[in-house]
Amino acid sequence: MVVLETIPLCSGTFEYVQTVNQHLICCICHNAFYDPVSTPCSHTFCKECIDRSLAARDPQVCPVDRSPLSYDQLTPAFKIVENLVNELFVFCPLRRRGCTWTGQRQFVSSHLNDDCECLRLQCSAPECGEWVIRRQFTSHQQNCEHYVNGQDEIVAIECPHKQRGCKWRGTDTESTTHIITCPYEALKSTFDTQERRYQQLEDRNTQLEHRIQALETELETFRATISNIPHDWDRIAANAHHLQTDFNNINATIGALEVKQDMALMAESARLREELQSVRALCQGLQMQLVTYVLDKRKDLPTLTSGSKGLASAAVAAINALGSRGGSTSNGEATSEQHGRGSSNRPDATTKL
């Protein structure tokens, strides 16, 4: 039985074709996640990296935020994270030996076990046991004296087109004859073309998946923004309602003040009219008293000098003028002042008389 070389696979094994997204990088090894696990504090690490970190720390804490952490709290990361890192395109781990293969990281193991021409195989002859790269292994078996002498009958070789459906198995000697007659060999160029096209489609599909994921992330952001819009409108509507209520209250207050002011003005006007009527009545009464007084004095003084008569006539004319002004309603204050002056002058007139 042929023994294959074992290539250890870990986060540091792979060389990526394109730059890896920073969100898929382990903060301990600074490589893309390999076998990712998550912590209760929502941080993600390679399982091997976090195991080494916890083993080296006492007390055990998260390397990022220093929160307490134990092995039992580690859980496998979300499946989408594992899928994203497994779909990253990498070079063959044996690139330095000359392998030019590139493909998704999840297919590296199958490539090494089935296809890689640079992987070393151990000669199945017990006396030999030499390690030979796969592309030279057939030639080694043909030339190995230990293999030819004792192993040709027990070692079975599969057709190179096994993955394409050929089920032939036989010895190395029979393999040369089989390749000539194998129907899959005649279609090799067609298969190669189809495989290249398939690989291109796989690459394109991966790119589209990344774009879809980015668009879904943006869509979620837009949905969160849009979901907040009704709350903003409700708040604006509530503020507008409060403003309208305040405006209505202010209008009502202004209206009440205007009514109150109008009522006060009307009351004041009524009071002034009443006072004016009272003053007018008083003036008329005084006028009548003065006229009566003057007439009485005339009767008591039948013989007056010409100067005294003129003075009496002037007094009567002043009284009549005072009465006509007291009856006017155009200016209450002027009337009051005139009445006052008339009253103040009457004693002089009486005295003169």
**What is the average per-residue pLDDT within 157-170?**
79
Give the pLDDT of residue 336.
42
pLDDT at 310: 57
- The answer to whether 237 touches 245, Cβ cutoff 8 Å, is no
How much is the pTM? 0.41
Which of the two residues, 278 and 234, has the higher pLDDT score? 278
pLDDT cut 90: percent of the chain above it: 31
Q: What is the pLDDT of residue 340?
A: 42
Does pLDDT of 153 surpass 50?
Answer: no
pLDDT at 333: 44
CB 11 within 8 A of CB 34: yes
Tell me if 96 sits within 8 A of 112, measured CB to CB: no
Among the residue ranges 160-164, 204-208, 214-218, 282-286, the one predicted with the least confidence is: 160-164
Q: How confident is the model at residue 172 (pLDDT cuts 50, 70, 90)?
A: confident
- pLDDT tens, 276-323? 999 999 999 888 988 888 888 777 665 544 455 555 566 556 556 555
Reply yes or no on whether the pLDDT at 39 is more than 90: yes
Chain-centroid distance of CA 105 in Å reads 36
pLDDT score recorded for residue 169 = 74
> Per the structure block, which two tokens stand in for 166?
């050929």
The residues near 350 (Cβ < 8 Å, ≥ 6 apart) are 293, 297
At 230, the pLDDT band (50, 70, 90 cuts) reads confident
pLDDT of residue 319: 57
Write a three-state SS string for the chain.
Answer: CCEECCCCCCCCCCCECCCCCHHHECCCCCCECCCEEECCCCCEEEHHHHHHHHHHCCCCECCCCCCECCHHHCEECCHHHHHHHHCCEEECCCHHHCCCCEEEHHHHHHHHHHHCCCCEEECCCCCCCCEEEHHHHHHHHHHCHHHHHHCCCCCCEECCCHHHCCCCEECHHHHHHHHHHCHHHHCHHHHHHHHHHHHHHHHHHHHHHHHHHHHHHHHHHHHHHHHHHHHHHHHHHHHHHHHHHHHHHHHHHHHHHHHHHHHHHHHHHHHHHHHHHHHHHHHHHHHHHHHHHHHHHHHHCCCCCHHHHHHHHHHHHHHHHHHHHHCCCCCHHHHHHHHHHHHHHHHHHHHHC
- In the chain, where are the structural domains located? 194-352
Residue 326 above 60 pLDDT? no
Residue in the block written with tokens 């195989």: 121
pLDDT score for 338: 41
CB atoms within 10 A of CB 8: 7
Q: List Cβ neighbours of 168 (8 Å cut-off, separation of 6 or more).
A: 158, 159, 178, 182
Average pLDDT score over residue span 108-118: 89
Residue 339's contacts (CB-CB under 8 Å, 6 or more residues apart) are: 279, 282, 283, 286, 322, 325, 326
Question: Other CB atoms closer than 10 Å to residue 270's CB: what's the count?
Answer: 10
| Mean of pLDDT values over 215-227 | 85
Q: What is the pLDDT, as a whole number, of residue 341?
A: 42
Radius of gyration of the chain measured on its C-alpha atoms: 60
- Top mean-pLDDT range of 5-9, 33-37, 114-118, 169-173: 33-37
